[in-house]
Amino acid sequence: MKALLQRVSQAAVVVEGETVGAIGAGLLILLGIEQGDTVEHCQRLADRCLRYRIFPDEQGRMNRSLLDCGGQLLLVSQFTLAADTHSGLRPSFTPAAAPEWAKTLYEQFAGYARGQGVIVQTGHFGAHMQVSLVNDGPVTFLLDG
């Protein structure tokens, strides 16, 4: 499981011309789910994402988490993060989890974050989406679960 975290001042996701999720300051997380990922992997990575200290403290140092600063979360499924890109000129998606299982874990991730008191918006799993964001920093990290 991979999570691409982007600290944002705002972000939104649009499906078929309709905004289905939008946030102010917080995190945009693009989530890639791979074969072999479990509910335990999902909860561990979700917890790590929510507690990852990438927001500035009073001295401007990255020392606060999303939970610390009360930011919002926009969660978007992105199976392309699970691609094997080690060789050739075309990605292989063999490492990606089956869509049914990936959707289950995606929903678990969102539910876990909501259970921690985070305001969570999501895209539509499996849909063609347009994601817009204003990356704050820019600050972007790739976490493997």
Q: Tell which phi-psi region holds residue 142, choosing left (phi > 0), alpha (psi between -120 and 50) or beta.
A: beta
The model's pLDDT over 56-76, given as tens digits with 9 standing for 90+, comes to 999 999 999 999 999 999 999
- Cα–Cα distances (Å) from 125 to 41, 52, 65, 72, 122, in that order, read 19, 24, 26, 19, 8
Which structural domain, as residue segments, surrounds residue 8? 2-144
How many separate domains does the chain show? 1
Per-residue DSSP letter, 82: G
Residue 31's pLDDT is what? Answer: 98
Active site residues: 78-80
Taking residues 119-134, report their average pLDDT: 97
Confidence check: pLDDT of 145 > 90: no
Closest listed residue to residue 65, CA positions, set 46, 83, 85, 41: 46
Confidence check: pLDDT of 45 > 90: yes
Taking residues 23-51, report their average pLDDT: 98
Taking residues 42-54, report their average pLDDT: 98
Task: Using DSSP bridges, classify how beta strands 55-56 and 130-144 pair: parallel, antiparallel or unpaired.
Answer: unpaired
Read off the CATH number of the domain in which 29 is found. Answer: 3.50.80.10
